[in-house]
Amino acid sequence: MESQLSQLLAVLEQKRRSTLEMFQALQAMTVDDKQVSVNDEQVKHAWNPNDCSDNFTVLPDKVTARRGRKTMRTDLIRGKKAYVSGTHVFEIFWPRDERGSHAMIGMATKNAPVSRVGYSHLLGLTSDSWGWSLVDKKLMHGGRKFGIYPSDRFDYDVPDTFHVILNAEDGTLRFKADDEDLGIAFTDLPHQDPSNALFISASANCANVDVRMRYMGSTGGISQFSPTGEQIVSVPAPTGSSYYTFHPRCGDNVDLMHGGRVARRRQESFRDGVVLTRHPLKNNVRFQVRLDTKISRWTGCLEIGFTSNDPADLQFPGTMTECIEGVTLMWSGSNVRENGEKVSEFEVDLDDCTIGDTVGLERSDDGSFHFFFNGKTLGEALRLKTNQNVVYGVVDIYGQAGSITISETDEGVDCASANDRVKGEISGTDPNAIMFAMRETVELLAKGSKVDSLTAVQEVFKTIMEPFDETSDERLRKRFGDHLASLRGGHKLTRLLRRLQRMGDRNPSEQTWLGITVLRNICWNYSGSSLKMCKQFGQSGLLELMLKDIDKFGPTKVTNEKERDLIRSAFGVLHNCAKATENKQVYRDIRAIERIAPFMKSKDLTLAMGAMLTLSYVAEDHKIGLLAADEKLIAHTLEVLKTTLDDPRLTGTVEDSVFSALEITTGLGNIAVNDTNKDLIVKLGGVPLLIDLLKKDRPDVQESAANALWTLAKAKRHRGSMLDAITGLTSLCRSTNAAVKQAAERALTRIKHRGQGQVLDIRPTSASRGHCNYRELCRRFKNSLELHEAYFEPTFDMCYCTNCHNDRGDKLYYGRGQPAKDYGVPFGWCRFALQTPNRALALDVFNKWHVAFHGTRLESVKPILENGGFLIPGDIRIGGETLRECDGHFTDEYKPKGFDTKHIFLSPSIRYAGCDTYAPKRFFLDRITKKSHKARVVFQVCVKPYSYKVAEQTIGAEFEIDPKFSNQEIEWFTKERGAVIPYGLLIKIE
């Protein structure tokens, strides 16, 4: 260790002490550990240095091909092996910034040319090759384009690492990236034809591009994929031996491999993943499995137990808790159930399992059973009501559980040590192996001061920082961050950083400074990718730690590069964590606004910009004066925004800090509530940049840009430039994306009429708020529901159509409650105020409680009003009817394990509560106009703070639903009926 540190210090002395160079120094120290492992089999299938153009060479690692510097030509290289049968999988690592204009991967026969003058789709140019362009996503064969791949996804960003799957049995070629099977790209490739054997191939025109290809095996060999391209397992074959294996008869959705030691549930469904042991449980021989992979889109996780049912005869149920045959005891969630009836409870909830966790059970000679979690015994020994001589181990690979491995065990001995022995089995570069390594590092950090701090830093760098830096796929980065949060990694990282900073205060050294730099940048990176990490950093005290640094130096006392790096990383963390609405109270409690505001006057414009963007998320209405920026800062921010326009991912870099167009436009829209900022943004050329962003094929960016223009339309000066936005906004008024369309209409109305004029769709209205045709249309629909007028209080009715919203000068989001939480203004809806009970006034709910929304079906409106509020499934409402879950929603009979339907579900986002799942549309014929419309309803409610829990969306959304609320915190739920008071019936007519 001392020699390594000496080497590191020597390197650091030779380099300038910037953050980036420190990373390079640490990488140099750990380079041996970072090398990609290559086995003999992979070398046999690697790139062929003798079958390529003269502009390609194969590097010493034998699996990486490098294209030379020759220009105005395209070059190709083939692999060594020819394939005529079987299924073969290849891992490709090809960084995005090394792809040039014609980066292609695919298959070719021996007859395909290896070079061509000029830049072209060389792989796919002739009938002897089939290629996928990683840049423009075209599929090419015989010189013809065969469509965009994945199908019609023009904006798909191919990650640095992906897989190629050739099925030479049926002549198909497909690709897989991360956890997604992209589907079949080509069919009718030569198969089982030695005269037309296929070779893995790549073509490129970019100078010095490196393409790494590793052969991952074939069916029946070391393949990590099924013939359909789905991931089977991300770990190698288990080491050692085990008394137990899985029986070949298993759930319909299960694949078994490695001699029955590994089981994997296919991803089409969250159930049908039951597996039983081949042999009955043996006394004093532990049956233990390790969770190897997880599937993020489901809820619930694995379950374990035993059953008296013989696997050879069992009719496998969808889930084992549904089994009514024989005697079955299962550990499900935190409960232990015998034939569905709860008999015990553990402090460990299996729904919270993470990759690498081990769970098991063991039968004693006296017939009792013990359960284990990560080698530790849980609770008291359990006994069946009726003793069973023969029982089989059973695991339900359910919900988020993807694949499991039976751990190595020894007969007749305590198996706790097996948990340590299996840790060496997982290795490699796929996401699940990386997350297992992260887990081990977090376990190391949990030991605190017992572990040398710099040893801890090295492990953190290798297993947490490097995986983040080595991928630019934001979905994968988020997955890593969420996994760290599930391990409470945010708390452990904060504790290590505190320890290092105390060491630095007492005895400053290069080693300590290096560790501090690594830890702070990890916090910066992961807070930018995972909202769960943001919330955990808010709980761990990290934000106060960052603020203490900026307090220490202030905006004018930064005297060297080290201090500047500290402040820069502090603002990076503070800015990222400010986006989590759950952290807003934390910022208030630690007086973050007052402590950050002075930095907006810093002469270092990058630091000032970080301070400004952070404040834009957390400044309250009565503190918007603190948002006032000077001309230099606004100009600098707009210059950074300009650099994002030329980047495919709409990001810009300034002094190693990366900003996205989305966060800059959101920030500009937020600070423009300050009139001085509003005028400066327009004066300094912000409007043309926002207009350019309207043209980008990114709905989230289009909406943000339109919202910023909507705010800027109130500028008192330089209004002429705002008129230039009319064309772009008019075009977006025809967008198929409802949020983009509404944002464009809203901005266009304000620009054209300064809030005084007609709306642009079917909802004509006069300029006066006294009469609104859209409100009258909604009123006629409300009347068609035949609801008694005694339920309503017309004094507080409110229309949120485009014109009424603009006329009032409403914002898009407001905060309410103590502590305050944001909610979305129900733009496009009309509210008919409800009579509220006396207790609403007594409890001061309109000042102290939060605002949320509850979507419902039209036929449920009247029963809700009759009952005086919301009920929970299972309640009996007026008339004696038992309330049940709606069709299409989860029920007790069909739901993810761990999901409790017995709640009232709410959301601070009208977009979520008003979606088709919760507020389905119904046709409505207007008797006045004789026109047919679609209508939906939502209740606006007050909900008591701390009475509800916050969770992620459950409607299967693949994109962010609301720019203000992450999908991870958009659903609220509570069992406290009295904690929710409806005060408005919202109606939307389309």
pLDDT digits (tens, 9 = 90+) for 599-625: 888 888 888 888 888 888 888 777 778
Instruction: Encode pLDDT of 577-587 as tens digits.
Output: 988 888 888 88
Q: Is the pLDDT of residue 935 over 70?
A: yes
The DSSP 8-state label assigned to residue 137 in this structure reads -
pLDDT score at 884: 62
pLDDT score at 829: 95
Q: What average pLDDT does range 949-965 have in this prediction?
A: 81
pLDDT score at 859: 87
Are the CB atoms for 924 and 979 separated by under 8 Å?
no
Q: Is the pLDDT of residue 19 over 70?
A: no
pLDDT score at 237: 54
pLDDT score at 840: 92
Q: What average pLDDT does range 744-749 have in this prediction?
A: 87
Q: Is the pLDDT of residue 706 over 80?
A: yes
Under the banding of pLDDT at 50, 70 and 90, the label for residue 212 is very high
- State whether the Cα torsion 530-534-540-546 is positive or negative: positive
> Where does 15-74 have alpha helices with state H?
19-29, 31-34, 40-44
Q: How many CB atoms lie within 10 A of CB 906?
A: 25
pLDDT score at 428: 47
Under the banding of pLDDT at 50, 70 and 90, the label for residue 882 is low
pLDDT score at 771: 80
State the Cα angle at 650 between 647 and 654, rounded to 5°: 80
**How many Å apart are CA 744 and CA 540, to the nearest integer?**
40
Under the banding of pLDDT at 50, 70 and 90, the label for residue 13 is very low
Residue position matching structure tokens 């808790």? 321
Q: Is the pLDDT of residue 526 over 50?
A: yes
Q: Is the pLDDT of residue 180 over 80?
A: no
pLDDT score at 719: 63
Weakest mean pLDDT among 150-159, 224-233, 321-330, 544-553: 224-233
The DSSP 8-state label assigned to residue 889 in this structure reads S
Under the banding of pLDDT at 50, 70 and 90, the label for residue 876 is low
Q: What average pLDDT does range 204-212 have in this prediction?
A: 91
Which residue would you say has higher pLDDT here, 225 or 897? 897
Q: Are strands 262-265 and 254-257 parallel, antiparallel or unpaired?
A: antiparallel
pLDDT score at 430: 61
DSSP 3-state of 977: helix
Sheet holding 392-396, edge to edge: 274-276, 392-396, 303-307, 328-332, 335-338, 341-345
Under the banding of pLDDT at 50, 70 and 90, the label for residue 173 is very high
Under the banding of pLDDT at 50, 70 and 90, the label for residue 426 is very low
Q: Is the pLDDT of residue 400 over 60?
A: yes
Q: Is the pLDDT of residue 397 over 70?
A: yes
pLDDT score at 767: 35
Instruction: Encode pLDDT of 543-585 as tens digits.
Output: 999 999 888 887 776 677 778 888 888 988 999 998 888 888 8
Token pair of 142 as six digits: 């015989």
Overall pTM surpassing 0.85 (yes/no): no
Are the CB atoms for 306 and 369 separated by under 8 Å?
yes
Q: Is the pLDDT of residue 45 over 80?
A: yes
Query: Bridge-partner residues for 523, per DSSP?
Result: none
The DSSP 8-state label assigned to residue 531 in this structure reads H
**How many Å apart are CA 260 and CA 406, to the nearest integer?**
9
DSSP 3-state of 479: helix
pLDDT score at 805: 85
Residue among 139, 199, 138, 196 nearest 166 (CA):
199
| Total length of the chain | 990
Are the CB atoms for 190 and 169 separated by under 8 Å?
no
| Angle formed by the axes of helices 19-29 and 2-14, nearest 10° | 140
DSSP 3-state of 276: strand
- State whether the Cα torsion 629-632-637-642 is positive or negative: positive
pLDDT score at 422: 40
Are the CB atoms for 17 and 564 separated by under 8 Å?
no
Per mean pLDDT, which of 424-438, 705-719, 881-895 is the most reliable? 705-719
**How many Å apart are CA 296 and CA 840, to the nearest integer?**
40
pLDDT score at 109: 94
Q: Is the pLDDT of residue 21 over 60?
A: no
Token pair of 63 as six digits: 């699996």
pLDDT score at 322: 81
Token pair of 678 as six digits: 């509003």
Token pair of 134 as six digits: 């990683």
Under the banding of pLDDT at 50, 70 and 90, the label for residue 147 is confident
Cα dihedral: 968, 969, 975, 980 (round 10): -150
**How many Å apart are CA 42 and CA 90, to the nearest integer?**
10
Q: Is the pLDDT of residue 7 over 70?
A: no
Secondary structure of 574-625 as H, E, C letters: HHHHCCCHHHHHHHHHCCHHHHHHHHHHCCCHHHHHHHHHHHHHHCCHHHHH
Find all residues with CB under 8 Å of 474, minimum gap 6, and list them.
Answer: 529
Q: Are strands 949-951 and 971-974 parallel, antiparallel or unpaired?
A: antiparallel
The DSSP 8-state label assigned to residue 260 in this structure reads G
Q: What average pLDDT does range 928-939 have in this prediction?
A: 91
Weakest mean pLDDT among 352-356, 408-412, 688-692: 408-412
Q: Is the pLDDT of residue 232 over 60?
A: no
Determine whether 786 is exposed, middle or buried from the number of CB atoms within 10 Å of its CB (0-12, 13-18, 19+). Answer: exposed
Per mean pLDDT, which of 249-263, 490-504, 644-658 is the most reliable? 490-504
- State whether the Cα torsion 571-574-578-580 is positive or negative: positive
Q: What average pLDDT does range 710-725 have in this prediction?
A: 78
pLDDT score at 873: 67
Greatest C-alpha distance within the chain? 88
Q: What average pLDDT does range 533-537 have in this prediction?
A: 92
